[in-house]
Amino acid sequence: MKLITQEQEQLLLANGRHNAGRETTEDFKPVIKLFCPWNSATWLLSELDPNDPDIAFGLCDLGMGFPELGNARLSELASVRDPGGLRVERDLHFCATKTLAAYAEEAARANRIIC
């Protein structure tokens, strides 16, 4: 399965273009949720860098209790495999109910992404 659909990619790029170079950025709802099925690593992504669409911005949690806003390289996420061959997956049922900052605030209190 592809990490992101073409429709999601277009929305992520539009969000990235909107915020590119702005001093005050808009707090978008996450477009996609990616996760590792073998541990609790999770990424809620809201934007792609319009100059390098392999770089996504969002709330990143490697499953160690320290979720933070930052960047993730999609090609690196796509290359991750567990010893049995499982890959990072897209949550097909994820529908954001709040902004990325709201998810980040909640994750900071819980030491993990909750969605």
pLDDT of residue 36: 95
- The CA distance from 20 to 28, in Å, is 13
**What are the phi and psi torsion angles at 61 (to 5°)?**
-135, 110
Whose CA is closest to 41, among 88, 83, 75?
88
- Residue 109: predicted pLDDT: 96
pLDDT at residue number 4: 95
Query: What's this model's pTM, rounded to 2 decimal places?
Result: 0.95
Task: List, in order, residues 6 or more apart from 34 with CB less than 8 Å away.
Answer: 3, 42, 43, 45, 77, 88, 89, 90, 91
- For the chain, count helices (H), then strands (E): 3, 5
pLDDT in the model for residue 1: 65
**Mean pLDDT, residues 93-109 taken together:** 97
83 pLDDT more than 90: no
1-56: pLDDT as tens digits: 689 999 999 999 999 999 998 999 999 999 999 999 999 999 999 999 999 999 99
